[in-house]
Structure formats: C-alpha cells, structure tokens
Amino acid sequence: MNKKKYIKVLAEFCRILIGVTFVFSGVVKAIDPTGWAIKGGEYLTAFGLKHYAWMEYALSFNVSSIEFTLGICLLLAVYRKWTTLGVLLMMCFMTPLTLYLALFSPVADCGCFGDAIILSNWATFFKNVPLLTAAIIVFIYHKRLTPFYSFRANWFVALFAYLFCMAFCYQNYTHLPIKDFRPYKVGLNIHKLMEIPEDAPQDELLFIYEKDGVKKEFTLEDSPFDDASWKFVDSKIFKKGFIPVISSFELYNKNGDNIEDFILSQPRLTFLLVLPAIKEANDVHINKISAIYDYAVEAEAKLPFYGVTASSEEDIEEWRENTGADYPFLTADDVLLKTMIRSNPGLIILKNGTILAKWHHNDIPDEEHLVEAIMRLDSTPIDEDDMTAPEILAEKNQKERISWLRIITGFTLPLLLIWIYDFFRNRHIRKKERNLPITNS
C-alpha cells in the first residue's frame, strides 16, 4: 500500500471513529435532555456560573444537537473542511477540560454519554486523547474523505440533522425518555434492586496511623490497633465493595418517619405523584391528577396516593391552595426524585414495590381511559421469584423497538431520498456537460 492509500485509509478510519462517537454521544444526551440539563447545571455551578442556570436546557438541547450534527456530517463527509474544523475545535476544548475534571473533580463524571455509559473523569480524558488525535488527522486530510452528497445537497443534510435532533430532544423532554437509563425502570422491583447478596464483596479500608510524626497506611489485618505507640489518624476506602443498583429509597412523612418499607410492601396499587420542585411544577394537567386521586380514595380498597417532593412545607401549602390538592405529602431527596422520573410532576404506580407505570404529566390518561388503564395494571401478574412484571417489561420493550424503528426510518428515509435525487441530478448535469459543443475562444 503506497503512502496516499495509507493516508486515505487512516483518514477514513478516523472519520468513522469520531463520527460514530459523536452521533452516539449526541443521541444518548438527546434521549434524556433533562438529565443533561442537570449535568449542565453542575458544570455551571462548579465553574462559578450558577447565575446562568436558566441556560441549562438550551445548553442540553444544543450540545446534543451539535454533537449529533457534526457526527452525521463527518460520516457523510458533508462540508468536509468546516465539519472537521468544528470537530477539532470541540476536541481541543473538551480534552483540556476533561483533564481538569480528572485532576480536580469539580463534577463526579463528565456526562459525555449521559446515563447510558458513566465514565470516570480519568477514563473520559483517556478516551478524548485518541479522539483528539483522530480529529487532527481528519482535519489535515479532510480532502481525502469520500463525500456521499454533492455540495448542492450539503446544506440540507446539515440542517436536517440539527433540526431532527432538536425535535428528538423536545419529544423526550415533553414526554418520558424513549429509553430509560436510570434504575427506576418500569417492570422492575425496587426492593430487589436494593438487595445486597450475602457473599457480596465489602469495602476494603486503609487505616492511617501516626508514630513519631510519621504517618503510615495499614490494612485491617496488619493495623497496629493494639499498639499504644501508634496513634490512629484516619481511614479511607481503597477498594469499593458491592454497590446495589438502588442504594437508597427514603420517603419521609410529616412526622419525619421513613416509610420506605410501608410504601414498597403495599399489595395494593400505590400512586406517587413526584414533584421534585413544586414551584417549577406544571399544573396544566391538574384535573387529570385530581381524577386519579378521586379514583384512588373512592376505590373499594382505598388505594394509597401520595405527593412526593423535596420542597418546603410552605411550597406544599401553596400547591394545595392553588390546586385544591387533598392528598398527603412525603418528602425525599431532590436527586432521588429526579432520578425516579423525568417529569415535574410525574406519576409512578407501584404494587409490592414493583413499578407498573410511569407517566409524564403530558401522558396521564384522561377520565375516559383512566379506569381501564388502572384496572389493567392492577390485574398484571408479578413474577414471585424476582418480583418483576414480565408482561409490562415485554410490552415496554416492544414499544421501544417500534419507536426506534420509526425514528431511524424518519431520519434515514429523507436522507436517502435526497441522495437519490442528488445522484440523478448530478448525472444529468454531467451528461449535459459532456454533450455541450466545444467552442474555440
């Protein structure tokens, strides 16, 4: 293989590597725009820009859409010079940033792949180093990349990719994400996800002792706890033990009692109206919520219905005054509630701790379909071994597959049609140019 072919192969490989990474990163962020808005807020706070918190969602939508667009444009070699320059500039910004995150840890993780794949800050930096190298290569040799479209169609591909991803973000923002990457998935049991096996590895600690002004680290087996000449200073974890999928599910009533076990052991349908921040909660569909509460209290078995929030008692009282809410409220950690459901408010239905349904406030059934939906959930069988709801899991997976098929078709079909049109138009133009008479100047 001569040098030119080698460079061509290398450039095309780098193009695929970066393109796939950028598309994947953009898609997983777009699946959960609320999650990345939260991560964006963490970044703003960490760098002293908390007063720009109003930009969280604009940042979330645009970061995912720009990444997706750059990835698609690179894979299709659209605007080769400007696309490779954009990729290079982004990697020149992200690589030093992730090195800073790895050294000083202002945020727990960079969130580059959302909640789909959580990488440590060091792992993210080491991921970005080869990507930066690949970005340099595709920028230098951008003319070696084989384009799929003529320059006349480039504007459509780039604009379509950006607008499509923005629309996808909006769909996942105004409804629950198409794919739930968080632990509280429909069909699974919260108790089971909190279990720690008897033979699970425990945290391994290092104990720090001091003697004659010199500090030394010891394991549990060789620590000098019975030697009075050594003074205990501190301890630290050097190897993490088993971490359950859900580490905490604490819900407190007005008396300050944790009623987690009571909620998760209810054999009846239990309704949790989750409002992480009541002042920001959407009350447009309050009539639907009231209808479900009325159904719960009027049912023969008196189904439990609770509002769950991280807000203050004053905010709860204001919500009651504005909406006429009669249901009792529980309080919980803000992070827990935002992890449970990406909606404010959002409704979760449990039975024996198994999540049977999660509804965004825009998708709560109206009165006409309410009884039918609740009765179907109540009659859903639950597996006694792992406490999952197999029918609901199968139905959820089927809906996800259909949704993904529609999305992929909706994105690729217009691009394919434009490619066909572009191909035949260019062939017609080339044929016309070949048939032009040759004139002497």
pLDDT at 41 over 90: no
- Which amino acid is residue 27, in one-letter code? V
Percentage of residues in the chain with pLDDT exceeding 70?
97
pTM, 2 dp: 0.89
Task: Give the pLDDT of residue 437.
Answer: 60
Mean pLDDT score, 397-421: 95
Task: Give the pLDDT of residue 4.
Answer: 86
pLDDT at 203 over 80: no
Given pLDDT bands bounded at 50, 70 and 90, which one contains residue 432?
A: low
pLDDT at 436 over 60: no
Structure confidence by residue, pLDDT tens digits, 109-148: 888 888 889 888 999 999 999 999 999 999 999 999 999 9
Structure confidence by residue, pLDDT tens digits, 343-362: 999 999 999 999 999 999 99
Residue pair 112/21 in contact (Cβ under 8 Å)? The answer is: no
Most confident of 196-200, 307-311, 385-389: 307-311
pLDDT at 265 over 50: yes
Task: Give the pLDDT of residue 433.
Answer: 63
Given pLDDT bands bounded at 50, 70 and 90, which one contains residue 232?
A: confident
Quick check: helix, strand or coil at residue 351?
strand
pLDDT at 440 over 60: no
Task: Give the pLDDT of residue 50.
Answer: 81
Instruction: List, in order, residues 6 or more apart from 206 with CB less than 8 Å away.
Output: 217, 218, 219, 235, 236, 237, 238
Task: Give the pLDDT of residue 331.
Answer: 95
Q: Which of 1-10, 151-160, 261-270 has the lowest mean pLDDT?
A: 1-10
**Which DSSP symbol is given to 439?**
-
CA gap 97, 48 in Å, rounded: 15
Task: Give the pLDDT of residue 352.
Answer: 93
**Which DSSP symbol is given to 189?**
B
Residue pair 25/67 in contact (Cβ under 8 Å)? The answer is: yes
Summary mean pLDDT of the chain:
90
- Dihedrals phi, psi of 234, to nearest 5 degrees: -165, 175
Query: What DSSP line would sit under 210-269, residue for residue?
Result: EETTEEEEE-TTT--TT-TTSEEEEEEEEE-----S------B-TTS-B-HHHHHT-SS-
Task: Give the pLDDT of residue 62.
Answer: 95
Task: Give the pLDDT of residue 201.
Answer: 83
